[in-house]
Amino acid sequence: MDLRRWTGVRFVCRAPTKGGGEVELRVAHLTLEHALFWQARVQPVIDSDPERVDQGWNWLLYLPFSKLTGKVLQQSPVGYCVGIVATDRDYFIPCALLQLLGRYPALNDHDEKCAFTWFLTTAPRAALTGLDEYHLSEDRVPKKLGTIALDVAVTHSLNHGGRGRTGLHADPKGGDRLLDWYQRRGMKVLPTDRQIPFGPRRFLRPSDGRYCYYTVRAALEASRSLDPLR
């Protein structure tokens, strides 16, 4: 498999909308300003929905904790924010956030590295259309935000030596529905008879059957599927 052409892969820069058009996106490094916006304007809407697995999350805690922990463990922590942009109105509206560890042992091969997604969240439609000052109509709300956010992790892996390998843990609150969602996007589930590394000395613990990962081939296929939006 020739991977040379998979270096310098661009992030997705647009998304389809409910109205049949497209909206422009930009992927930026996650900042305190993004986290403050999310906690004040988006997280309250998430918290009102008991079916959301990200209910009760606090990005003002996750942002510094993830960076500090990842640096201590030499796991290259990085956060990203996917935002809706409009140059004519000069705005950037965060619509998805993720925090990942850029150098984590691949779940299916501990001798290789992957991008392990620690936190990933997307804004509900009601949160985006409820931002009165931006006048974002229902027809302009982006679709595929979860897929696009997951692709950010894959793209990071492709561009930083992971060859697309990506791992994550599907929150148990999401049940089989969440696991199915990741599998439909080409991820595999680590069997319960396998172990995962954790901690600074690579201690091992059993998989609970909710760890998902991309193989190199599956990551390339998933990335290719979004090329029309790059």
Query: What per-residue confidence (pLDDT) applies to 194?
Result: 92
Q: What one-letter code names the amino acid at 166?
A: T
Query: What per-residue confidence (pLDDT) applies to 6?
Result: 59
Domain of residue 173, CATH code: 3.40.630.30
Domain, as residue range, for 174: 4-229
* pLDDT < 70 stretches in the chain: 1-7, 66-73, 87-89, 199-202
Task: Determine the angle formed by the axes of helices 216-225 and 145-159, rounding to 10 degrees.
Answer: 130
Number of domains in the chain: 1
For 5-71, give the DSSP string.
GGSSPPPP-EEEBTTSSEEEEEEEE--HHHHHHIIIIIHHHHHT-TT-TTTT--HHHHHHHHHHHHH
Element (H, E) at 156: helix 145-159
